[in-house]
Homo-oligomer: A and B are copies of this chain.
Amino acid sequence: MDNTRPRMRWWGWGEDGNDGPVKPGARAMLTEACGWPDGVDNPPIELDAVQLPTSTLPDAAREKLAAVVAADHIREDRATRVSHAAGRSYPDLLRLRGGDLPYAPDAVLYPASSQDVDRLLAICHEERIAVVPFGGGTSVVGGVDAFRGGFESCVCISLARLDRIVSIDEESLTATVEAGVFGPDLESDLQEKGFTLGHFPQSFEFSTVGGWVATRSAGQQSTGYGRIDENVFGLRCSTPTGVVELRTTPATAAGPNPRQVFVGSEGTLGIITEATLRIKRQPEATVPDAWFFPDFASGAAAIRRLEQEGLRPDIARLSDVNETAFGLAQLGSELQRKGLLAYLRVRGIKTPCLMVLRYDGKASDAKARKSAGRAIAKELGGVSIGGAPETMWEKHRFSTPYLRDQLLTHGVLVDTMETSAPWSEVQDLHDSIRRDMEAALLERGTPGFVLCHISHLYTAGCSLYYTVFARQEAGAEMDQWRALKTAAGDAMMAGGGTITHHHGCGADHAPWLPKETGELWPRMLRAAKAEVDPAGIMNPGKLMNGPEEL
């Protein structure tokens, strides 16, 4: 397989052929909540019509780079440049679909090895060329936007050819993997040998190990299998001034933990070319369960107790009233939906909140945990119709991002925001973020519809994940989005949350980093960065590099 072929269509999510029509129930609900914009049909522009900045890569630099990767792995054609100009944030989608790209890499480089990456970074450092590392390009926070940070030229270094599983240590249950390995390739290779990483972000199909590590990713099973930062035991990072190799160590007390600085560094320190990850034996059984609760508070209490009482669900999500309603609205048959709601009403549940769970492990153990969990759910007023809602959710769990593309064509804004907080602050934070996003949208005359779920459980708290819909404000789409984003971010800060639980900082969240940690920490990060990247070529405008003015 030629990994240098982009896996995603250049203007949106994933591959063509996966977009169904917006389901009538969803459309009806958005019409009621936001006012469906009748007659809008805004397909993406043609690739040839995209306004692309002229390439400015000096010939001398190109020659030096070509000495490392050979000329056919320096690509400067339109399709390649556009495909590597941005990720899949809402602003990215606006710019791509509209064909108004203020930035793009001059060239995309495809090194074949870690050592190639070392050499390319050394050249870029010498030549003062900005570098944007690129895995799958699925960032939803502007993490791969090809900013050049004041440099004349900018290249994108794709890790697509670093696609090997280097080794599997079956005794230590670790796998050493190159950065460019894509999720499905990794899982199928591991599963063939009886193992799994268990890392399934929504971007799973199109994202890479290096991207996961660089962005401190979490997946839909991270409650059970751990976030990526919990699963990295060693790594190799190329920087403009040398290589950092962190040996594989299950735990160390040798000062501050360098793994936890390179994990999440988002390409600002260098390029992670290889990581050693914890793997697990594939579970003997995966046991689904699902419950409806009369309100968000009782569901939250149940899901909290599941975690705190040690029942260790591997997947756990609680949708609030809006998200549950939106999910039910997309059910196949209206009859089915009405029947379910009637059933729940009889049992005292008028505004259902759906909790889906999955327990992995030895069959007997998974069933015992499920059974103990059911006692808690019942105690808190839950009603179950069996595990089917979990199975159904799982079946569609990678398809939601496609909906964004369709809604944009219809003139509907859709974005997601996420945070985490201690349990004692979850209910207030849930309410205040929603309220502030709704207020910001209403103020612009475009009422919003806000869904939320709890996921990623910890004994101390959980993540809150929002999906927001609104009519697009024609001609002021970016301003509208910025107002929404600001309202959400500020509400997270005010309510004791973090600006991101697992999307990363990128360009979009960079303004909130000093608000969350204070000014000293970003200063410390910038000082540490200057040691490995004194010229500041690595991923300008992201994370502690602050947002770039466009």
Contacts and interface: CB of A to CB of B under 8 A. Distances in A.
Contact of A257 (B229, B247, B280, B424): B229
B532 A254 contact: no
Interface in A511-550: 512-513, 516-521, 523-525, 527-532, 543-544
B256 A263 contact: yes
Interface in A213-261: 215-218, 227, 229, 233, 239, 241-258, 260-261
A520 B172 CA distance: 28
Interface magnitude class on chain A: 35 or more
Contact of A249 (B174, B264, B304, B421): B421
Interface string A418-458: 00111111000000000000000000000000000000101
Pick from A215, A243, A530, A531 the residue with the most CB of B within 10 Å: A531
Interface string A328-364: 0000000000000000000000000000000001100
A173 interface: yes
A278 interface: yes
A421 B234 CA distance: 11
Contact of A254 (B243, B496, B498): B498
A81 interface: no
A79 interface: no
A174 B244 contact: no
B250 A462 contact: yes
B261 A256 contact: yes
Pick from A261, A310, A518, A523 the residue with the most CB of B within 10 Å: A261
A459 interface: yes
A251 B420 CA distance: 7
A461 interface: yes
Contacts of A173: 308, 423, 459-460
Interface stretch (A51-59, A478-486, A502-510): A502-510
A530 B532 contact: no
Contacts of A174: 422, 460
Nearest to A361: B310
A169 B424 contact: yes
A5 B480 CA distance: 62
A460 B172 contact: yes
Pick from A241, A518, A520, A532 the residue with the most CB of B within 10 Å: A520
A250 B527 contact: no
A284 to B, nearest CB: 11
Nearest to A517: B258
A255 B248 contact: no
Contacts of A415: none
Nearest to A418: B253
A520 B241 contact: yes
A215 B255 CA distance: 7
Nearest to A310: B361
A158 interface: no
A520 B524 contact: no
A2 interface: no
Pick from A263, A280, A525 the residue with the most CB of B within 10 Å: A525
Nearest to A521: B258
A265 B257 CA distance: 9
Nearest to A528: B524
Nearest to A141: B253
B501 A253 contact: yes
B172 A503 contact: no
Nearest to A301: B171
Interface in A244-297: 244-258, 260-266, 278, 280-281
Nearest to A304: B171
A421 B498 contact: no
Nearest to A237: B520
A422 B458 contact: no
Given A423-B171, A520-B241, A265 B261 contact: no
30 contacts: A169-B422, A172-B425, A172-B460, A174-B422, A217-B253, A218-B253, A227-B251, A242-B520, A244-B517, A246-B521, A248-B496, A250-B461, A250-B463, A251-B502, A252-B420, A253-B264, A253-B498, A254-B499, A254-B516, A255-B505, A256-B260, A256-B263, A257-B261, A257-B264, A258-B517, A261-B261, A278-B459, A278-B460, A525-B528, A527-B530
Given A239-B520, A249-B422, 12 more contacts: A171-B422, A171-B423, A242-B518, A247-B498, A250-B420, A250-B422, A251-B420, A251-B502, A252-B420, A256-B265, A257-B263, A527-B530
Interface of A: 169, 171-174, 215-218, 227, 229, 233, 239, 241-258, 260-266, 278, 280-281, 304, 308, 310, 361-362, 365, 420-425, 456, 458-463, 496-505, 509, 512-513, 516-521, 523-525, 527-532, 543-544
Closest 6 CB pairs of A and B: A260-B260, A250-B461, A172-B422, A250-B458, A252-B498, A524-B528
